[in-house]
Amino acid sequence: MTVTSAAPNEITLLQPDDWHIHLRDDGALATTVPHAAKRFNRVICMPNLVPPVKNTTDARAYRERILTALVASDIDASRKDAFDPRMTLYMTNQTSANDIQEAAESGIVQAVKLYPAGATTNSADGVTDIMACAEVFAAMEKYNLPLLIHGEVTHDHVDIFDREKRFLDEVMNRIIREFPTLKVVMEHITTGDAAQFVEAQGSNVAATITPQHLMFNRNHMLVGGIRPHFYCLPILKRQSHQEALLAAATSGNAKFFLGTDSAPHPTHKKEAACGCAGCYSADIALPLYATAFDSVGKIEMLEGFASRFGAAFYGLPENTSTITLTRTPMQVPSYYPYFDGSQLTPLMAGETLPWSLKA
């Protein structure tokens, strides 16, 4: 990373990757794919489509739809050439060891995603008994295919703000004990408990952190009226947890790296009586992260988090291209045009960020 001074007004980073993104499918791809491709080289694409991406055949077909949308977009040719969507399989109760072997040998499937059934958007096909998946976990261990986990229990009697901590205690400890060399990413962690848990494990356990969980807490979502565009799952937690995540992300610990969990929903479905969970950030993620890191005086730690640590965990080479962020205010768009004439409202829509991408 290049910085211009002790209190930099400009930083140049190796091109970042996004190790957790939702592009959705069909008409949504015309918006989400160019946004992602302009900012990131590699992206790990979530498989919770309708129907889900359950096997390598599904993954190949989904990747082709993404690349078709990329070709049709008007972004710069160099960004089209650099963009590499990496696929994931959606683990179900029917996933087999043969599915894992085929995925590992495909060259396009980067990991397998575990959603506890009912945990988030389009998770109805998720796993109902995680510890019944021992054969699948063993195959993933054998073929060095990482397990990406939405780490929450889904029991109705467990408070929504406690579900991540309960998952650590009741599920994660057991998975790690029984499969000690399995590579695991705790996705979009939201608590100091999760950060401490990841820090305490071996090098095979890591975590992604979103911009919203670094910048906001549940007061931002609830005080003064419900703000639906801050609603995501796992839900925003207390300020103390936000501060713990900022400390982890800016620490230089290679276990923590960038995963936006950018999740598009049409504005009319977010701003509804039963609004969808998810924050859309792909196009503005890097200024958001820069703002978060700079808020604690750690802008110089951004490159490791955004550009180096994830690649190292997945055993992939670092990117060689660069991007430059400048301390120049930018106004977040109020919305983006979306498919079927709808609109897509980003995180912090209409607000001003202190950092922007240099053209």
Identify which of 242, 240, 216, 238 has the alpha carbon closest to the alpha carbon of residue 227: 216
Q: How confident is the model at residue 82 (pLDDT cuts 50, 70, 90)?
A: very high
Specify whether the CB–CB gap between 255 and 304 falls below 8 A.
no
Mean pLDDT across 345-351: 98
Q: Which of 19-23, 131-135, 229-233, 255-259 has the lowest mean pLDDT?
A: 131-135
Residue spans of the domains in the chain: they are: 16-321
pLDDT at 341 over 80: yes
Per DSSP (E only), the strands in the chain are 2-3, 10-14, 18-21, 42-45, 84-90, 109-114, 147-149, 184-186, 205-209, 256-258, 322-326, 330-331, 336-337, 343-344, 352-353, 356-357
Consult the annotation and say whether 23 binds a ligand.
yes
Residue 241 marked as a ligand binder = no
- Mean pLDDT value of segment 32-56: 97
Cα–Cα distance, 271 to 350 (Å, whole number): 16
Please tell me whether 255 is known to bind a ligand. Answer: no
Is this prediction's pTM over 0.85? yes
Is 22 a known ligand-binding residue? yes
Helix (H, G, I), strand (E, B) or coil at 207: strand
Class of domain 16-321: alpha beta
pLDDT tens, position by position, 203-259: 999 999 999 999 999 999 999 999 999 999 999 999 999 999 999 999 999 999 999
Determine whether the annotation assigns residue 261 to a binding site.
yes
Q: Which two tokens stand for residue 307?
A: 């550009």
Please indicate if the annotation marks 156 as binding a ligand. Answer: no
Confidence of residue 5 (pLDDT cuts 50, 70, 90): very low
Rounded distance between C-alpha atoms, residue 218 and residue 230, angstroms: 9
Decide: 39 and 306 in contact? Cβ < 8 Å: no
Confidence of residue 72 (pLDDT cuts 50, 70, 90): very high
Name the catalytic one among 18, 125, 261, 283. Answer: 261
| Average pLDDT score over residue span 46-52 | 95
Task: Share the mean pLDDT of the chain.
Answer: 94
Residue 261 appears among annotated catalytic residues: yes
